[in-house]
Amino acid sequence: MEYNEKFSKFFEKFKDEYIRADEEWKRMLLDIARDFVEKNRDFVMHHPLISYWRNFERSIGYSREQLYKEYNWKNINLYFHVPFCVTKCSYCNFHITIWNRFKKLHAMRYLKKMEMEVDAFLDEVNIFNVKTIFIWWGTPSFLDDEELTTLLKMIYSRFSHKFDKAEFEYTIECNPESVTKSKLQIFKEFWINRISLWVQSFNDDVIKNINRTYTEEDVLRTVSLIREEWFGNMNIDMMYGLPTQEAGEMRSDLEKIIKMNPEHITYYPLYNYEESTFGRMWKKEDNIEEIYSFYDILAKSIKDAGYIQYWREYFAKDESLIHHYQNNYVSNRHLIWFWHSAYSFSGKFAFCNTHDFKDYMLWDDHIRKMFEYHAKFYDERLFVIWSRNLKIDKKWIKNLDYMRWKLELAFMLWFIDERENDFIFTEKWLKYQEIFTHTIL
């Protein structure tokens, strides 16, 4: 059964039952919906996974150059993907390549290919400014000093004159064991002003079980080094609900991250990707209740420590430290991704590269397919992606009447409230966000 149809059929029956139910049965139905969604969903929240959107209309007759011209006069958010990792984490389904003895050759060839892709974009797009840059998945900090300098120098030489100084955010992802003083100095030299550290857990046994290659001691050393080198905007990524991770260990991790006091905390539950090792070997339904219960604990604890919550999983010390790249991404702003398997979004079109690493390295014109959004389905994507935030500004919605109809069940469940200028997501939604999203699908 097609992905959207599966959830449409479920929530049609759910709605009929919910209308007739008393309060006790309504609570039970909500738990049933939670379990159904968690056992059947894939990760559709953050990325425009086009295969799930039956409402995309394939555009015919558009070239890459025409798609790129959509970016003129726009604020652009840039994404650069570094696909190399030492190991593949057990929860990961991203497109990565494991280091081997040919690491240096692979890395430098890949960076050269990315440079060619950037230059092809700049041949067509000249008048724009850059709001944010994000260098992410797999592990950019595993590049050595020479490779990092090559990548960052290329980005700087092509885009530094386009940086929007008023709201410029430049983030790089790092793994604790691969951060060195020399790399931090390279980051600063090329204007990186935000570091995101993938920690996930402080428990050495849990870290080992998810196939990561550092220890709590490495994390503490790296955080201290980042502070010594003056980076005043650090995010730390955490996870909960991992296999073998007991309630006491989750609470311990929470206490340690709050005590560490980073400027930003990202705290995700385990997402059970079908293509991941966990997805193939472990059934998430074993701890769905535990995951949902722990969310209440972590959200309250982090907010009590003085953080503001602006996404379900995102907490910042103050509004100046909100992660602008993610906010710009989910609000359908202009986004261009440079890497194999990349999806980019111009506000009118979505288009993607080949998913095959070898094809990307060999094929010059590597846009694999492109789509044009119908206006009302543009709004659906906005609500699915933006639903991790706490509100949606009505000015971004193209068809309010259509969305009010699509949101009927969400209103009934008191997941969302309509105000004069916004749709506000309620406290109840924060806990059951995945259910809300799939009522729209």
- For 174-225, the pLDDT digits (tens) are 999 999 999 999 999 999 999 999 999 999 998 888 778 789 999 999 999 9
Which pLDDT band holds residue 257 (cuts at 50, 70, 90)? very high
Q: Which of 402, 412, 379, 311 is nearest to 33 (CA)?
A: 412
Distance CA 340, CA 95 (A): 8
Structure tokens of 85?
A: 């990792």
- In this predicted structure, the answer to whether residue 326 has a pLDDT above a threshold of 90 is no
Nearest to 413 by CA among 6, 42, 37: 37
Superfamily (CATH) of domain 64-329: tm_1862 like domain (3.80.30.20)
Parallel, antiparallel, or unpaired: how do β-strands 349-353 and 367-372 relate? Answer: antiparallel
Give residue 183's pLDDT. 96
pLDDT above 60: residue 132: yes
Query: HSE on the CB side for 47, CA within 13 Å?
Result: 14
User: Which pLDDT score is estimated for 260?
Assistant: 95
- Identify the pLDDT of residue 61: 62
Burial class (CB in 10 A: 0-12, 13-18, 19+), 356: middle
Domains 3-40+389-440 and 64-329 share a fold: no
pLDDT at 126 exceeding the cut of 60: yes
User: Residue 174 and residue 186: Cα distance in Å, rounded?
Assistant: 13
- Summary mean pLDDT of the chain: 82
Strands 264-269 and 314-316: antiparallel
**CATH code matching the domain that covers 3-40+389-440, chosen among 1.10.30, 1.10.10, 3.40.50, 2.40.50:** 1.10.10
Q: 9-13, 215-219, 244-248: lowest mean pLDDT where?
A: 244-248
pLDDT value of residue 189: 94
- Residue range 39-43: mean pLDDT, rounded: 72
**Which amino acid is present at 174?**
C
pLDDT at position 158: 95
The 10s digit of each residue's pLDDT in 332-342 is: 567 788 876 67
Over residues 410-431, the pLDDT tens digits come to: 999 998 999 999 998 888 888 8
What does the buried/exposed string (b/e) look like for 155-190 if buried means 16 or more CB atoms within 10 Å of the residue's CB? bbebbeebbeeeebbbbbbbbbbbbeeebbebbeeb
Give the closest residue to 178 by CA, choosing from 229, 228, 213: 213
Which amino acid would we find at residue 425? F
343 within 8 A of 337, measured Cβ to Cβ: yes
Residues 52-111 have pLDDT tens digits of 455 556 655 667 777 787 777 678 889 898 887 777 666 666 666 666 656 767 788 889
Sequence-distant (≥ 6) Cβ neighbours of residue 412 within 8 angstroms: 15, 18, 19
Q: What is the structure's pLDDT at 80?
A: 92
Q: What is the pLDDT of residues 272-317, one digit of tens each?
A: 655 555 555 555 556 788 888 899 999 999 999 999 998 888 999 9
- For the chain, what are the domain ranges? 3-40+389-440, 64-329
What is the pTM for the complete model shown? 0.88
- Give the pLDDT confidence score for residue 85 in this predicted structure: 76
Query: Picking from 51-65, 123-137, 348-362, which range would have the lowest pLDDT averaged per residue?
Result: 51-65
